[in-house]
Amino acid sequence: MACISTRPSPGSPLPATGHPSAAELQAEVARLQHENRKLQRINTALIERVESGVTRGNDPYAAFQHSVVLAEQVRERTDALNQAMAELKAGNHLLSEARLRAETAHQHLIDAIESISDAFVLFDQNQRIVLCNSRFKAFWANSRVRIIAGMRLAEVKQLMTASGVFTEEPRGPADEHLLYRLQNGRWLQVSERPTCEGGRVFLFTDITEVKLSETLRREQAVAQKSQLIRLITDHVPALIAYLNADLVYEFTNKVYEEWYCWPRGVMLGQSLREAHSESHYQRLEAYVARALAGESVTFEFAENNINGQERYMLRSYVPNRLANGEVVGIFVLIRDITERRKSAEALHQAYQNLEQRVRERTAELTSLNDQLLREIDERSRAESRLREAKREAEQANLSKTKFLAAVSHDLLQPLNAARLFTSALLERREPHQSVQLVRNVSNSLEDVENLLGTLVDISKLDAGVIKADIAPFALSELMDNLAAEYAQVARSEGLELHFVGCSALVHSDIQLLARILRNLLSNAIRYTRSGRVVLGCRRQRRGLWIEVWDSGIGIAEERLDEMFQEFKRGDVQRPDQDRGLGLGLAIVEKIAGILGHRIRVRSWLGKGSVFAVEVPLSATAPKAPPSLAISEPMLERLRGARVWVLDNDAAICAGMRTLLEGWGCRVVTALSEEDLARQVDNYHAEADLLIADYHLDNDCNGVDAVARISARRAVPIPALMITANYSNELKQQIRERGHTLMHKPVRPMKLKAAMSHLLANSPVQPL
């Protein structure tokens, strides 16, 4: 069928390029409609002609039309075939490109695993080798084993163990990766990962340098710890050494070498017999033999120093035992006790001289009194001289006691620092020898602390510094703690402590009453060779007697009154026992006088003694404060805690930093407020706790310093105040400020409990 074009005829006028008017548009539309009707008539006539010509089968035009149709169909089929061939060719081209890309990607994979520094093995879902790089094959270069594709994982693992090329290292439960050591000494870490198709990938990473670095760091850490121990022991005023089982020196501190005039380190490796004279060795031989037999030996030993002066040395030999009990060495601790002996002798002589002076003064007063009866004028002048002498004596005694009370802080500062250092070292994982050595140093410092503490107590009692803080409380709060504490002390001396509990409410100062009972219990254990000590109460009318019974040596009746005098001591029970200063019962009597409590003593020579203190009963008592027992959740609070330490003593700061960082705290130490401000962004840095000493430089104190620091922060910082001042005024002042108070020397366990308690109740600090 012919196609009819609907385009305008060549003679049709074209529209003007400008905008036509409405009449022109209507004329143009009419003309187009006319031409369209004419074309429709022509088209209808042509269609009728074509249709009428089809009915004649032999018409040449029909044959021609049929051939045209066939030709059109052939052309359409040919075009379709050509299109299919073109698509096939394009598909082949894409397939070739895909194959080329796959081969290129495979080559890239091979190049990639060859380029990595680790040995690489790929297993399929059937646990067979698919691919491995040359570094993995190189492990087997010097063996008869050949690694090929298709080998199973189990077979490879068996060959690794059987060939001797790989040696698996044991690993702990926290280790994530396997470790192997090669024949050439190299170390490999094996990482295993699954693939998405169910296969496995193994990477063998050479970590030899890491292992060597770790070994070097461990050796350096051990060396640093050893150096730290040597640094500490070099500053301890005692001779410290260690001998092995062959009596060869393996450790000596600086004081030890200087005492025996040896250059630094030269004594190490020499035997005891070689390092000293034969006579010196023979005097020590019996004690050394006892120590090697497993006995701890302490004895006094007189020897001359470098200047030829005779000094009294207190030697302690402590055996170093293995877990099986074998003695592999001896710890040696030597302390110069010459001054202590001289002080004791001087104190005794001073007491004798004082008695003589009292007798002489009494005779003089009697003579003056007789003379005053005879001469009125001379009596007046004599009385004036006596008053002046008495005033000077009282002033001198008061100055002495006030001086001792004032310097107690400075005396306890270095001891407190040493206590912090040794406690920090004891909590670290040190070799057994070092731990025992530090523990011996700690015990020696504790002895010095106790002696100084006793002297300080006497001076404070004489100076009137200590005041009673009377309040009602449940006696069980005090008695239960004392019983638990001294039961352990009694067991260590081979004794039994029997405790009879009491639920009474009493009216006293719990701290001062505890001081009395501690001295009584310590004396009972000290002077009891065997048997038991009993702590209990006995009610009598409106009062209550707290009694301490022992089965010790007893006291002769004529000596009962003098036992409460200063520097009066009983006979010791064991040769290695510390006799103390003889001030315990004097302190008991003075504190009882402050509290207004009566002291009663009865004794039977050779059978035992009983000391008792009377305490008034109370009708009511406040609720007991919560216990600060250490628990794991409380210890967790210390880890990561941000703690500021303010103390004008550099040694205290260093010791506190070492101790607190050992507990996991983040510590900032400062010697003054200005020093602290520079380190903590003018007090605006984040902090959880402030530990401050009460006595600071330039007439400053810790209470005012804490107030100034908290005033410059959005939220006040919790504070722990440390001091050697035991006055009730200071206690009340710190209590009103809401701070926590601890007295020197600070016990690390009490410090840890107090810090944990404060951190548990502290508010969240703003960022």
Residue with more model confidence, 303 or 144: 303
Inside any domain, residue 388? yes
Same domain, 558 and 644: no
Task: Give me the mean pLDDT over the 404-414 stretch.
Answer: 55
Does the pLDDT at position 366 exceed 80? yes
Domain boundary among 616, 648, 669: 616
State residue 577's pLDDT score. Answer: 52
Inside any domain, residue 79? no
Helices (H) and strands (E) in the chain, counts: 20, 23
Q: Name the CA radius of gyration of the chain, rounded.
A: 50
**Do 331 and 440 meet the contact criterion of CB atoms below 8 Å apart?**
yes
Same domain, 360 and 427: yes
Inside any domain, residue 26? no
* 629 band by pLDDT with thresholds 50, 70 and 90: very low
Same domain, 638 and 757: yes
Same domain, 480 and 576: yes
Residues in the chain: 767
Which residues, 6 or more positions from 132, have their beta carbon under 8 angstroms from its beta carbon? 113, 119, 120, 121, 122, 147
Does the pLDDT at position 6 exceed 50? no
The CA-atom distances, in angstroms, between 243 and each of 268, 269, 289, 439 are 9, 9, 12, 17
What is the DSSP annotation of 122-143?
EE-TTSBEEEE-HHHHHTTTTS
Structural domains counted in the chain: 6
Residue with more model confidence, 744 or 493: 493
Same domain, 285 and 193: no
Q: What is the pLDDT of residues 717-754, one digit of tens each?
A: 999 999 877 777 888 888 888 888 888 778 787 888 88
Same domain, 603 and 472: yes
Which residue segment(s) compose the domain that 272 sits in?
237-336
Q: For the ranges 59-73, 379-393, 625-639, 682-696, which has the lowest average pLDDT?
A: 625-639
Q: Tell the residue number behind the tokens 């143009």, with chain if given.
A: 28
State residue 14's pLDDT score. Answer: 38
- Report helix angle 728-737 to 702-711, nearest 10: 10
What three-state secondary structure class fits 375?
A: coil
Closest CA to 549 of 524, 519, 585, 586: 524
Same domain, 611 and 504: yes
Output the six-digit token pair for 608. 């035992």
Does the pLDDT at position 668 exceed 90? yes
CA distance 211 to 177: 14
* One-letter amino acid for residue 705 of the chain: A
Task: Give me the mean pLDDT over the 249-253 stretch.
Answer: 89
Same domain, 639 and 727: yes
State residue 5's pLDDT score. Answer: 35
CATH number at residue 171: 3.30.450
Inside any domain, residue 59? no
Residue 241 pairs in a beta bridge with 252, 332
Does the pLDDT at position 354 exceed 90? no
Task: Give me the mean pLDDT over the 454-478 stretch.
Answer: 74
Does the pLDDT at position 123 exceed 70? yes
State residue 765's pLDDT score. Answer: 45
In the chain, what percentage of residues exceed pLDDT 90?
12
CA distance 412 to 452: 8
156: phi > 0 → left, psi -120 to 50 → alpha, else beta; which? alpha
Same domain, 322 and 381: no
pTM above 0.75, yes or no: no
CB-side neighbour CA atoms (13 Å) of 763: 8
State residue 293's pLDDT score. Answer: 92
* 416 band by pLDDT with thresholds 50, 70 and 90: low
What three-state secondary structure class fits 532?
A: strand
CATH number at residue 691: 3.40.50.2300
Task: Give me the mean pLDDT over the 455-470 stretch.
Answer: 67
Residue with more model confidence, 735 or 175: 735
* 565 band by pLDDT with thresholds 50, 70 and 90: low
- Across the chain, what does the average pLDDT equal? 78
Same domain, 314 and 408: no
Domain boundary among 436, 460, 484: 460
* 31 band by pLDDT with thresholds 50, 70 and 90: confident
CATH number at residue 519: 3.30.565.10
Inside any domain, residue 627? no
Inside any domain, residue 565? yes
State residue 582's pLDDT score. Answer: 59
Within 10 angstroms of residue 229's Cβ, the number of other Cβ atoms is 22
**Do 162 and 179 meet the contact criterion of CB atoms below 8 Å apart?**
no
| HEC secondary structure over 730-761 | HHHHHHHHCCEEEECCCCHHHHHHHHHHHHHH
Domain boundary among 314, 336, 358: 336
Which residues, 6 or more positions from 741, have their beta carbon under 8 angstroms from its beta carbon? 721, 723, 730, 731, 734, 735
Q: What is the pLDDT of residues 605-617, one digit of tens each?
A: 888 899 999 999 8
Inside any domain, residue 608? yes
Output the six-digit token pair for 559. 């000596």
Q: For the ranges 40-54, 161-175, 461-475, 659-673, which has the lowest average pLDDT?
A: 40-54
Q: For the ranges 108-112, 239-243, 340-344, which has the lowest average pLDDT?
A: 108-112
Which residues, 6 or more positions from 603, have their beta carbon under 8 angstroms from its beta carbon? 554, 555, 556, 557, 560, 609, 610
Same domain, 679 and 744: yes
Same domain, 352 and 366: yes
Closest CA to 642 of 684, 581, 600: 684
State residue 437's pLDDT score. Answer: 53
Residue 132 pairs in a beta bridge with 121
Residue with more model confidence, 437 or 499: 499
State residue 378's pLDDT score. Answer: 66
* 7 band by pLDDT with thresholds 50, 70 and 90: very low
Inside any domain, residue 61? no
